[in-house]
Amino acid sequence: MRHFSDRLADAIIAKRSVVCVGLDPDLEQMPLDFVERYKDGTQQAAAACFEDYCRGLIQAVADVAVAVKPQAAFFEQYGAPGWAALAGVVSCARDHGLLVVLDAKRGDIASTGRAYAAALFGGATLPGGAAAPGLAADAVTVSPYLGDDSLTPFTDRCADGKGVFVLTRTSNPGAAGLQEREVEGRPLYLHVAELVERLGRDHVGAHGYSDVGAVVGATAPEALCAVRAVLPAAFILVPGYGAQGGDAAALRGARAGDAAGFVVNASRSVIYAWRQRGTEYRQAAAAAAADMREQLAGVLGA
Amino acid sequence: MRHFSDRLADAIIAKRSVVCVGLDPDLEQMPLDFVERYKDGTQQAAAACFEDYCRGLIQAVADVAVAVKPQAAFFEQYGAPGWAALAGVVSCARDHGLLVVLDAKRGDIASTGRAYAAALFGGATLPGGAAAPGLAADAVTVSPYLGDDSLTPFTDRCADGKGVFVLTRTSNPGAAGLQEREVEGRPLYLHVAELVERLGRDHVGAHGYSDVGAVVGATAPEALCAVRAVLPAAFILVPGYGAQGGDAAALRGARAGDAAGFVVNASRSVIYAWRQRGTEYRQAAAAAAADMREQLAGVLGA
C-alpha cells in the first residue's frame, strides 16, 4: 500500500492546494429550508440530514480541496444511525478522490488502542475470521496524553497506508494550560513533537514526508515554526484557519519539502459560507474553498 | 437530578463495594463455544456477540459491583451495529442498578466537545427540536491534553447528574512519558489534578464528593497519594487492578470521605475469569468480582 504521506503530497501537487475542509455538521448553521426536509424528529432523519449536507459539500469542494476532515463527535450524537452516516460520508469523500482525515482525537493503549485504530481505519476481526470494514479513514487525529504506547496502535497502521496526526499545539484558548507549560526549558508541546518525530521516523514515503504528523493551530504561528524545527519531515495539520482567526501569513514558517508539508483546515468559513455569501450552500462552499486555495497558493512556490 | 457523586457514594455504602467491572469484549478471550454461536461473519453478529457476553456479565456482577466501565473502542470496531450494541449494554447495566462509566477518553472544545458529551450522555438536538437519547452513560472518561475548555463541555453536564473522570495518571508503562514530566517542580499529572479540583469545585454533592473525578492507575501508588492530597473531595477511578498488576495495598492512601472516595476497575481478571477458574464465564465473573469486593473490603472501614 502506498504511503499516506505520498498520497497526500501527490494530491497537493496535482491540485496545487493545501485545503482541507472540516465537516462539522450543525443543524443551527445549515440553511433552514435544508433542515426542514428532515423534520420527522428521528435520529435516522438527523443522521440523513448530516450525511446529505456533507455529501453536497464533498461534491462542491472535490476539485479544490485535497482532504476533508469529518468531526466524529457530531455524527456520534445520533447513535448508530449517526455512525452509519459518518461511514457514508467517508466513503463518498474517497469516491470523489479526497483523502479523509477523521478527526476523532482518540488515544488508548494496547488492545483498546488497536480497537480504536480498527474502528477508524478498518480491520477488526469478525467471529468467522474476516475483517470488518471500519470507517476506512485515510488518517486520524490522536491525543498524546497517555504517552507513546497510546500512539503506536495507530502508527502501526502506517504500514497499511494510513496516516496519524498527533495533537501537539491546538488552536483553542485553553491549549496553553498544559501544552505551553515549561518542561526542561521548553514548552510541553515540543516534547510531544519529539515523540511524533520518533514515532514517524520509520514511516517515511518517497516524497520524504513521514506518515506521522502533528496538529498545530494556525492561531499559534510561533508554535508552527518551533514544531517545524523539531519535525522537518512531517506533515502538519493546521486547524483554526478562517473562523478561528488564523491567516496565511502564520503559515510561512511551516513550509517543508516539495508539497508544502502541511494542510490547512477550515470548517465553518467554508461549509457555512452561504451565511456570508447569500448563495446556495454548495456554491458558497465551492467559492469559499477556491478563495482559500488562492489565498494559500503562495506557500506552494512557483 | 441527583448528583452522580451521591449516586455512586450511596451504591458504595449500600453494597459495601468499590468494585467496577470493565467491559472490554474480546473474541479471543471469550469461551470458544460462546463465540461459535455468532459465526455468520457479519458485523451484526459480532456486535450481538459482544452485547450478549456483556449482558451476561452485568447480570452476574450486579449484586457485588457498583459500576461497569464499557470500553467504547471495542464496540466501535463493528460500526453502527457495534454502537447499537454499546447502547444496549449501557441500558442493560442501568436496568440492573449499576452505574455506567463509559470509557471513551474523549476531549474536544466548544461545539465539538458538547457534541461528544451529547453522544455519551444524551441530549443532542434533533431536527424537530426533540432531544436524542445518546448512550445515556452516568459518567465518562475524558482526556485533558487540550486544556480546560475541552473539559467544561463535559463538566457542564454535572448539573444533569452526570460524572466526569479526567485522565490524570494512567496505568500504562508509557504514561510516564508526559504525565510524570516535571513542571514547576511537580509532575505534570498534579497540574492536571489541580485542574480537576478547579473544575469540580462547583459540583459537590451531599456526601461531600465532587462529580468531577480523576483516573489514577493502581500501578502508581505514590501517584494515588499525591493526587488525593490535591483532590480531597473527588472520586478517583482506579484502573489497572488485577491483570495489570495493581493490588489492594496500593489503595490505602486514596481513601477519603464516607464512601471510600474511589472505585477500582478490573476488566480481564473478572470478565475472563473463566480461563483461570474453569467454570462457566458468568459464574466465574461473579466469583471473581465477589473475591475482589472481599479483598477491598478493608478500605471501607468497620
Domain count, chain B: 1
pTM of the model: 0.98
- Cβ of A38 within 8 Å of Cβ of B127? The answer is yes
pLDDT for position A300? 80
Distance, in Å, from the CA atom of B51 to the CA atom of B63, rounded to the nearest integer, reads 20
Question: Residue B300 falls within a domain, yes or no?
Answer: no
Dist. CA A195–CA A150, nearest whole Å: 12
Contacts of A81 in chain B (CB under 8 A): 80
C-alpha cell at B91: 441500558
Tell me: pLDDT of A94 over 60. Answer: yes
Q: State the catalytic residue, choosing from A15, A69, A105, A162.
A: A105
pLDDT at B302: 53
Best mutation target among B178, B182, B191, B194 (most A Cβ atoms within 10 Å) is: B178
Tell me phi and psi for residue A33, to 5 degrees.
-70, -20
Distances (CA, A) of A241 to A18, A21, A69, A296, B221: 12, 10, 13, 11, 44
CB neighbour burial string for B123-161, b if at least 16 within 10 angstroms, e if fewer: bbebbeeeebbbbbbbbbbbbbbbbbbbbbbbbbbbeeb
Flag the least confident range among A213-217, A253-257, B67-71, B277-281: A253-257
Which residues from chain A sit within 8 angstroms of residue B28, using beta carbons?
125
Q: How confident is the model at residue A241 (pLDDT cuts 50, 70, 90)?
A: confident
Query: What percentage of chain A reaches a pLDDT higher than 70?
Result: 98
B191 CB neighbours in chain A (<8 A) are 178, 181
Give the residue from A79, A127, A33 showing the smallest Cα distance to B25.
A127
Closest CA to B220 of B209, B233, B236: B236
Under 8 Å CB pairs connecting chains A and B tally to 241
Is residue A301 domain-resident? no
pLDDT-wise least confident of A65-69, A293-297, B74-78: A293-297
Q: Is residue A52 part of a domain?
A: yes
3-state SS, residue B164: strand
Residue A185, burial from CB neighbour count under 10 angstroms (0-12, 13-18, 19+): exposed
3 state DSSP class of B195: helix
Asked if the structure places residue A14 within a domain, the reply is: yes
Separation in Å, CA of A301 to nearest CA in chain B: 33
Which residue segment(s) compose the domain that B215 sits in?
A: 4-295
Answer whether A108 sits within 8 Å of B132, measured CB to CB: no
The CB-side HSE value for B52 (13 A sphere, CA atoms) comes to: 14
What ipTM does the predicted assembly reach?
Answer: 0.97
- Cβ of B173 within 8 Å of Cβ of A77? The answer is no
* pLDDT for B245 beyond 70: no
% of chain B at pLDDT higher than 70: 98
Average pLDDT over residues A172-180: 93
**Which pLDDT tens digit goes with each residue over A23-78?**
999 999 999 999 999 988 899 999 999 999 999 999 999 999 999 999 999 999 99
Interface test with B, best of A29, A178, A267 (most B CBs within 10 A): A178
Compute how many other C-beta atoms are within 10 angstroms of the C-beta atom of residue B4. Answer: 27
Q: SS3 for A185-250, per residue?
A: CEEHHHHHHHHHHHHHCCCECCCCCEEEEEEECCCCHHHHHHHHHHCCCEEEEECCECCCCECHHH
How many CA within 13 A on the CB side of residue A93?
Answer: 31
Is residue B26 very low, low, confident or very high in pLDDT (cuts 50, 70, 90)?
Answer: very high
Find, among B115, B156, B153, the residue nearest to B132 by Cα. B115
Amino acid in the structure at residue B168: T
DSSP state, residue B99: E
Q: What is Dmax (Cα atoms) for chain B?
A: 57
Report the distance separating Cα B288 and Cα B281, nearest Å: 10
Average pLDDT over residues B27-31: 97
The answer to whether the CB atoms of B119 and A172 lie below 8 A apart is: no
Query: What is the pLDDT, as a whole number, of residue A302?
Result: 52
Q: Is B105 a catalytic residue?
A: yes
Let me know: does A163 contact A235? Beta carbons within 8 Å.
Answer: yes
Binned at pLDDT 50, 70 and 90, residue B65 comes out as: very high
pLDDT cut 90: percent of chain B above it: 89
Separation in Å, CA of A299 to nearest CA in chain B:
28
Query: Which pLDDT tens digit goes with each residue over B89-130?
Result: 999 999 999 999 999 999 999 999 999 999 999 999 999 899
Identity of the residue in B87, B127, B179 whose CB atom sits nearest the CB atom of A45: B127
Q: What are the CA-CA distances from residue B162 to residues B7, B8, B90, B136, B159 (Å)?
A: 10, 11, 14, 9, 7
Q: What is each CA distance from A106 to B17, B85, B175, in whole angstroms?
A: 31, 20, 15
Residue A208 backbone zone (phi > 0: left; psi -120 to 50: alpha; other: beta)? left
* DSSP conformational letter for B243: T
Q: Compute CA distances B123 → B89, B118, B151, whole Å.
A: 19, 5, 17
Look at residue B248 and tell me whether its pLDDT is greater than 90.
no
d(CA B12, CA B192): 26
pLDDT given at position B250 = 78
Does B301 fall in a domain?
no
pLDDT score recorded for residue A218: 86
Residue B173 resides in a domain: yes
Instruction: Give, in order, the Cα–Cα distances in Å from A200 to each of A144, A213, A214, A258, B231.
Output: 14, 7, 10, 18, 37
Residue B179: which pLDDT band, with cuts at 50, 70 and 90? Answer: very high
- One-letter amino acid of B48: A
User: Which residue, among B29, B43, B112, would best test binding to A if mutated, counting the most A CBs under 10 Å from its CB?
Assistant: B112
Of the candidates A127, A146, A191, the beta carbon closest to that of B174 is on A146
pLDDT, mean over chain A: 95
Chain A residue numbers touching B215 (CB-CB < 8 A):
none
H-run or E-run covering B295:
helix B281-296
Residue A183 is nearest to which of B49, B87, B183, comparing CB atoms? B183
Angle of helix A43-61 versus helix A281-295 axis, rounded to 10: 50
In sign, the C-alpha dihedral spanning A138, A143, A147, A153 is negative
Q: What is the pLDDT of residue B38?
A: 95
Is beta strand B19-23 parallel, antiparallel or unpaired with respect to B67-70? parallel
Please say if the pLDDT value at position A244 is more than 80.
Answer: no
Q: What is the pLDDT of residue B218?
A: 86
Reported in sequence order, the residue ranges of B184-268 that DSSP labels E, i.e. its strands, are 186-187, 210-216, 234-238, 262-266
Residue B252: its pLDDT value, please? 80
Percent of chain A whose pLDDT exceeds 90: 89
Domain containing A252 — which CATH number? Answer: 3.20.20.70
Which one is catalytic: B15, B69, B105, B162? Answer: B105
pLDDT at A135 over 90: yes
For residue A243, the model assigns a pLDDT of 64
Task: Tell me the nearest-neighbour CA distance from A103 into chain B, angstroms.
Answer: 10
Q: How close does chain B come to A102, measured CA to CA in Å?
A: 13
Chain A residues whose CB is inside 8 A of the B150 CB are: 172, 174
Domain assignment present for residue A138? The answer is yes
CA dihedral B30, B35, B41, B47 (to 10 degrees): -70
Determine, for residues A83 and B78 on separate chains, whether the beta-carbon distance falls below 8 Å: no
Using the beta-carbon criterion (under 8 Å), do B116 and A73 form an inter-chain contact?
yes
Q: Is residue A302 part of a domain?
A: no
